[in-house]
Structure 1
Amino acid sequence: MTPVHQRLSNETFFHMVEKMLTVLFVFASNGSGWILQKILWVDLKFAKFSPIRGSSFIELPLCLRNQRYLLNIRNHDDFECFNYCYTAWYHELHGPNLADPSRDIRTQLTNPATYRKPEATKPRGEFSMPMGFHDIHQFEIMNDVQVNVFQFSKGDLLPMYLSNNRNIEPTIDLLLLFNEDVHHYVLINNLIKLVCTVKEKQFTNSLRLCRNCFAFSHSEEQHQVHDDACRNHAPATIKMPSDDKNSFRFKNFKARWFAPFTIYFDFESFLMPVSSCPANPDASSTEVIEQHIPSGFALTLIENGFSTPKEFVIDSSKNCMTNFIKKLHEMAREVYYSKRRFPIYLGQQVPNRNSVVDCWICEEPFGPEDTKVLDHCHHRGDFLGFAHEKCNWIRRTINFTPVIGRNIANYDLHHVCLALREIEPSTTINIIPSTDEKYI
């Protein structure tokens, strides 16, 4: 087929292209032609952004207020609580002591003026105060420390910021308090004691604590093994369920019913040598040296509640696989009709309906409006108990017969598939492989 532009003259073709480009240029210059006449209304919404950062003073919760391992510096007139905590930690670790021994030491340590003294060691670097989480990493690098921040909320302790510089030994642990738009840092002098207090655990000097999940270890070796595995995960804390949600009840009552009949089988095979040509050494190939030939089977039918088999068959003939499939069909038909021998309860004496308090299936008590339904076994006719109408409807006799074979997950299944395909070519076989290799 000849293109359109080759069937037209060059002059006509270029004229069409120029006209289309002109129309496009005019439209782009003038726009859509719509004109704004007036604005009916403007709806603007504002939301105040309040990043999590320490600011002014907040009192500790009552349960932690008198704990000596927490230092809450009372900075009412500035936002330097983070820097004060660093200075207090530094002098606690390296000295000298900033408090005057002749006066009340605790009062001096909670006074921000103590950390404004000329001899007080200030942190390196200039950071916007109050300190935000996004600045802590740079603070750690400049001051060669590890900073971790925790939050106390609803009676529990939660990790909020954990340092990535875990190889640095000096560690500052801070507790972040919050009240509406105000946040405040508190120095934690002993994190293990704080966690023991919150978690109601007995404190001992041998305890080691994982800051990532608050798990305790009783030796340095255990702690190191746990820490190496735990640090690869996000910070978390173990929260136990409340008393009204700390148990589970079994609800899949239809799965409680036993199988009325079960069929078991096993195969035996010969390993017959196979003659073949030598494989090509220059190419990848598989050489077959033996073949499994079924030599016999054992098949048994077990009825629930009986110690002796209902039927037992052994066959070691040449056509054992054909006989196996046929016998399996016979047993399946027998089981199918046997499970429906007693669709209606005909027999034995039952307890007084009014004396029965609980449903035998769900084990829940009968309500005043519940109907007590007599439940019985359809394949033996035995009385089972009184049940809720819904429970009786859910608990049904199993409508299939389990067939269990020894070594069926390996090669014996191959014999069954080949026999089924030969005897009943239209049979569909569905297999759930454990691995691709076994399936292939």
Structure 2
Amino acid sequence: MMVNLLYLEGPDKKSHYCWIKNISRLVGSQLTKHDGAIHICDGCLVFFREESGLQKHISQGDCQKICTILPEPGNNFLQFKDFHLSFKMPFTIYSDFETILNPIHGCTSNPTEKYTINTHIHKAHSFAYFIKCSYNDSLSIFRSYRGKDCTNVYMKWLIEDVRRIYKDHFSNYKSMKPLTVEEQKET
């Protein structure tokens, strides 16, 4: 699987990676005035109007792979430094399940083909989760449960807790007052 990323760098040398979910939508209008969808080869960035054209291109090996230029040694590190500008998440959820490994009996495979043998199955028997509030520990929640129906109980409790947190802390935001002319000049 290939993930396309767009690297943006501003004049102040601040940079950011963006995930390109659909490269055709990003660059399609720059490549053609065609109003419909286009299909782009990930290897050489050639585009086709029909999916069948792209499949033919790939299957015939017509793809001339693009040249990848890697950073030079000494200039090959990229890291986030401005932690003081980041926002803390008001609530973070940590959760864990405990499982029992039950053996699987009667699994047979064809020895002439590649295969994976499943020998055990994980059966959940308990869980615990902790909802940590970053600004008020009295709002943090710990829950645990042990039983055969733990996966259903987990979903039920977690949905209830998240809905309650949303209702109590996020659903009643008010819009900001508009900036005055003086405040706009300051920014």
TM > 0.5 fold call: no
Is the radius of gyration larger for structure 1 or structure 2?
A: 1
Structure 2-normalised TM-score?
A: 0.45
Q: Which structure features the higher share of strand residues?
A: 2
